[in-house]
Amino acid sequence: MKTFRNYLITSALLLGFLSVYIPIRYQTTYPRDIGPQFDERIRTTYLNMLNEEQPEILLFGDSMLAPAVDEALVEGQLGGKTHLVSLPGTASTIWYLIIKNNIVLAEHKPKHLVVFFRESMMTVPGYRTTGRYFEQIDEFAAPTDELLIQRAYINQMTSLEKFMEGYIPIYSSRWRIRQSLDYYIRYPLGKVLLDCNSTCMDYAGEVVFEESNLDITFLSDAIGAADDYLYSKEALDFVDQIDKSFLPEVIRLCKENDIQLVLVRMPIRRFYNSESEPSGLSVYVQNLGKYLEENGVPFLDFDHGKEMPSEYFSDTLHLNEQGKSIFTQKLTESLKAIIK
C-alpha cells in the first residue's frame, strides 16, 4: 500500500513538473488551444513548379498514380503540356491544402486538375493526418487554416481527447516531444557513435529507406490494413460525410479560379467482384457520382465492373507496366471528351 502511495505521489509530482515545463519549453499557452499548431512557413513547391513549367493539365494523386499513368503519352494524346504529381502517403486533406495554398495562388494555374483517388478517400478528412502524416500536412498548412483544424482534427476528437489536448501538456505536445527525441537520437547520437553529421544521417536515411529497398508486397499489405477505415460504415455514409469533408471546398476553389476539376476513381484489386465488396460501397460511389454531376465535376470511374484484370497489377493497389499502358490509353480516351 505504501509503495503504491509513493508511486501516486511521484507520478503526480512528475505530471505537475511536466505541465509547467512543457508549455515553457515549447512556448505554448495553458490551457492550450485545441487542435494542432502549424508553423508560419508554407512550402511552395507546386506553386513554383506551376509558374516555371506552366502545364495546362495537372495530374494529381498518391503513390498509385505514377505506376498507373504514362505522363508523356497523356501529353501527346491530349495535346496540352502535362505534369504528373504522385505523392506517396497523401490523401484528400493534403491535396486540399496544396490546392488552397499552392495551386490557386500560382500566377500560372492549370486549366485542368485531374485528381486520382480510391474508394471513399475524397470525403474522409481525418484520413492520413496524424502520426508521420502530420509532418506532410504541416509543410503545406498555415496557423490560420481554421477549416483544416476543425474538420481534420477537432471533429475527429472525443470529449476526453479535447480535454487532454487543452489541459494535459504531455499529451497535447506529444508530436513536438517526439520530434525532439527523434532529433537527439538521430543527430547527436549519430555523431557520437558513427561520426556522421546531420547531412550524413539524412543521406543515410534516404538511401536505406528509398522506394527500391522496400518490399512492395509488405508495403501494399500495410496500406491495405490502413485502408480498412475507407470501408467503415462511417466513411461510406456519403450524405453524412460530404459537408464535413474538403471536397466542397476543393470544388469551390477550382471553380473560382477557372480550373476544370476532374475526379478519377482508380482501379484496385482488393475486391474481385461486387459480391466481395463491403456493404455500402456501391451506394457511396453512386451518391458521389450524383454529387459531382450536380456540381459540374466530371467523374471517371475506372473501378466500375473491375475492368482491369489481376495480371495488370503488381499488388492489390499498384499497376504494373502492362497495366500502365492499358490504363493510360483508357484514361486518355475518356479525358479527350472532357479536355478540349
Closest CA to 242 of 213, 273, 276, 284: 284
What is the C-alpha to C-alpha distance for residues 75 and 49, in angstroms, rounded to an integer?
Answer: 17
User: Residue 179: its pLDDT value, please?
Assistant: 80
Q: Which residues pair with 262 in a beta bridge?
A: 114
Per the CB < 8 A criterion, the answer to whether 97 and 263 are in contact is no
**Per the domain annotation, does 130 fall within a domain?**
yes
DSSP state of 320: -
**Per the domain annotation, does 267 fall within a domain?**
yes
Count of domains observed in the chain: 1
**Beta strands, E only, the chain:** 57-61, 82-86, 112-117, 260-265, 299-301
**Per the domain annotation, does 1 fall within a domain?**
no
Q: Which residues contact 317 (CB under 8 A, 6 or more apart)?
A: 63, 64, 118, 220, 223, 224, 268, 269, 270
The H-or-E segment that residue 17 falls in is helix 2-25
**Per the domain annotation, does 11 fall within a domain?**
no
**Per the domain annotation, does 288 fall within a domain?**
yes
Per the CB < 8 A criterion, the answer to whether 301 and 204 are in contact is no
Per the CB < 8 A criterion, the answer to whether 22 and 173 are in contact is yes
Give the three-state DSSP class for 58. strand
Please identify every stretch of the chain with a pLDDT value under 70, giving residue numbers as ranges.
1, 211-225, 272-275, 305-307
- Tell me the pairing of strands 82-86 and 112-117: unpaired
What is the C-alpha to C-alpha distance for residues 26 and 15, in angstroms, rounded to an integer?
Answer: 16
From the CB of residue 264, how many other CB atoms can be counted at a distance below 10 Å?
25
In DSSP notation, 239-286 reads HHHGGGSSHHHHHHHHHHTT-EEEEEEPP--S-SSGGGSPTTHHHHHH
**Per the domain annotation, does 201 fall within a domain?**
yes
Per the CB < 8 A criterion, the answer to whether 60 and 115 are in contact is yes
What is the C-alpha to C-alpha distance for residues 266 and 302, in angstroms, rounded to an integer?
Answer: 6
C-alpha cell, 314:
503488381
C-alpha cell, 170:
504531455
User: Can you tell me which residue has the cell 460504415?
Assistant: 233
Domain range for 297: 45-336
Each residue's pLDDT tens digit, 87-134? 998 999 999 999 999 999 999 999 999 999 999 999 999 999 988 888
Per the CB < 8 A criterion, the answer to whether 259 and 295 are in contact is no
User: Residue 185: its pLDDT value, please?
Assistant: 84
C-alpha cell, 160:
476526453
**Per the domain annotation, does 9 fall within a domain?**
no
C-alpha cell, 270:
482488393
What is the C-alpha to C-alpha distance for residues 72 and 85, in angstroms, rounded to an integer?
Answer: 13
User: Residue 319: its pLDDT value, please?
Assistant: 93
**Per the domain annotation, does 13 fall within a domain?**
no
Q: What is the pTM (predicted TM-score) of this model?
A: 0.85
User: Residue 227: its pLDDT value, please?
Assistant: 82
Q: What is the CATH number of the domain that holds 199?
A: 3.40.50.1110
What is the C-alpha to C-alpha distance for residues 39 and 10, in angstroms, rounded to an integer?
Answer: 35
User: Can you tell me which residue has the cell 457511396?
Assistant: 284
